[in-house]
Every structure is written in structure tokens, then in C-alpha cells.
């Protein structure tokens, strides 16, 4: 049985349709890379799965139950956690406080302060530091650690490498390596196509709110994904 099923999902921002009739499912332990240009609907899709955006139509099913009407905090309790674009930490609170607040509202499980610090050792000397004073990479590590403190079964990572230095990106992904091999189901939004392909088992490329291309990461080459990313596959179809 799929842990996540998206059925004919449509999402709007006022009159703008951001997600257009998308359907897909995820098996437990699968890692899905969600790629596409800015404005393709990726963030809206993740926020809708997490319960932070109400869909105009369609449904979200998690672990066999329809959660479309559940509020975000209820989905956290069921095992869905979102690391939002821009991280959105409590900047006036310490790293430790950010982590512990999340842990108080999640599920019981293997992730706690000690295991998060083991996964993200760069946070150990920063526990008492204000989150707002951290570097971008440290803030991203804190945001991911905060999500892990809820012991998610489905982790939604939005724009992991956005605004980070190459070194910081490498450090964050190195820390994610153990998580990606742990059986946690992950949807990751990533602008770096090579990185997205390398860490995922499946890729979905979105274009103008719809799925332009979908397939196993091992079966899709960079050229095919790039063509779908920019809508070039449409041009070739029309030319044919």
C-alpha cells in the first residue's frame, strides 16, 4: 500500500491555478525529487500535502486515510513534516529551543535531541546560539533537525540548497545521507538537477502546475528532464 496518494489535486492562489489535477503515489521508503522552474507549483504542492494550503479540488491520502481536511498540526501528529522554503525558524530562540519545541508536538520515535545532533554535528557547538545568528547552512540543518524531532514518516524538504554555499550544501546532504538510507519517505524539491537525480529513486518534473515528466531516476537522463523543465518537450511534440 502507498504511504502517500495524491488524487487529482488542484490548488489555487486566488484566481491563479498553481497545481493542476496532479495525481501520484509514493511507496514507503521512496525518495521523490520534485523539480521544475520557479512558479511551477512545487512549493504549493508540498504545502498542500503538509496541510498549510487548502486545495480547491482533489484529495491527499496518507497511510490509507483521507487527510485532505486535516489541519497541519494534525498531520504532524500522523507523521508528515515540512521543512519550508526559507527555513522559517524562530530566530529569537536558540537552536536547542527550536528543536525541543518541535519535539513536544510530534510522534514518539527514534529522533530526539541526541540523535539529531548525531546526524547534524555542526549544531552541537551552536545549541545555545540564537537561530537568527546562524549561517545559512546551520539554519538549514536546524530546520531539518526540527522536522526530524517530530519523528516523521514522510519528510517534505523544500529547496534544500537555496541560498547556500556549495560547501554548506555538501554538509547538509552529507548529514541527510543516513536519513535517506533509513526508510523515511522523502519528497525533496531541489534546483540542482544532478543532485536531485543522485539522491532520489524517482523524479517528477512540474511545469505550469502539472506533471511534465515522471520516471525512475535511473531511467531519466539530464537532457530529458531539462527539456521537460523548460517545456521543450512540448515544442518537439508539436514539431513532430
d(CA 63, CA 78): 9
Average pLDDT (172-196) is 86
- Mean pLDDT calculated for residue range 179-193: 87
- Please give the backbone phi and psi of residue 45, each rounded to the nearest 5 degrees, phi first: -65, -45
What local confidence, expressed as pLDDT, does residue 104 receive? 83
The tens digit of pLDDT for each residue in 16-43 reads: 999 999 999 999 999 999 999 999 999 9
- Give the per-residue pLDDT at 238: 42
Please, which pLDDT band fits residue 161 given cuts at 50, 70 and 90?
A: confident
State whether residue 15 is helix, strand or coil: coil
The torsion angle over the Cα atoms of residues 144, 150, 153 and 157, rounded to 10 degrees, is -20
pLDDT of residue 67: 98
Domains of the chain: 4-239 (3.40.50.300)
What is the mean pLDDT of the segment spanning 45-71? 97
Strand pairing partners for 33?
A: 188, 203
175: left (phi over 0), alpha (psi -120 to 50) or beta: alpha
Residue 102 has pLDDT above 50, yes or no: yes
Supply the mean pLDDT for the chain. 91
**Burial degree of 78 (CB within 10 A; 0-12, 13-18, 19+):** middle
pLDDT in tens, 77-90: 999 999 988 778 98
Summarised one tens digit per residue, pLDDT across range 212-232 is: 999 999 999 888 999 998 887
pTM over 0.75: yes
Amino acid at each position: 500500500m502507498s504511504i502517500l496518494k495524491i488524487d487529482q489535486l488542484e490548488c489555487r492562489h486566488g484566481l491563479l491555478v498553481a497545481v493542476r489535477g496532479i495525481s501520484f503515489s509514493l511507496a514507503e521508503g521512496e525518495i521523490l525529487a520534485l523539480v521544475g522552474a520557479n512558479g511551477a507549483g512545487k512549493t504549493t504542492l508540498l504545502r498542500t500535502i503538509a496541510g498549510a494550503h487548502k486545495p480547491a479540488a482533489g484529495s491527499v491520502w496518507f497511510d490509507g486515510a483521507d487527510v485532505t481536511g486535516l489541519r497541519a498540526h494534525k498531520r504532524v501528529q500522523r507523521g508528515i513534516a515540512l521543512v519550508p522554503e526559507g527555513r522559517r525558524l524562530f530566530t529569537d530562540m536558540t537552536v536547542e529551543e527550536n528543536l525541543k519545541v518541535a519535539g513536544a508536538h510530534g510522534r514518539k520515535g527514534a529522533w530526539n535531541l541526541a540523535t539529531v545532533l548525531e546526524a547534524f554535528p555542526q549544531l552541537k557547538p551552536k545549541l545555545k546560539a540564537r537561530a537568527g545568528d546562524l549561517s545559512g547552512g546551520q539554519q538549514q540543518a536546524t530546520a531539518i533537525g526540527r522536522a526530524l524531532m517530530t519523528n516523521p514518516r514522510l519528510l517534505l524538504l523544500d529547496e534544500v540548497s537555496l541560498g547556500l554555499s556549495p560547501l554548506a550544501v555538501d554538509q547538509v546532504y552529507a548529514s541527510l545521507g543516513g536519513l535517506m538510507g533509513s526508510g523515511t519517505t522523502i519528497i525533496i524539491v531541489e534546483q540542482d538537477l544532478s543532485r536531485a537525480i543522485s539522491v532520489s529513486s524517482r523524479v517528477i518534473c512540474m511545469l505550469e502546475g502539472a506533471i511534465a515528466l515522471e520516471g525512475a531516476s535511473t531511467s531519466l537522463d539530464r537532457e530529458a528532464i531539462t527539456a521537460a523543465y523548460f517545456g521543450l518537450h512540448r515544442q518537439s511534440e508539436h514539431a513532430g
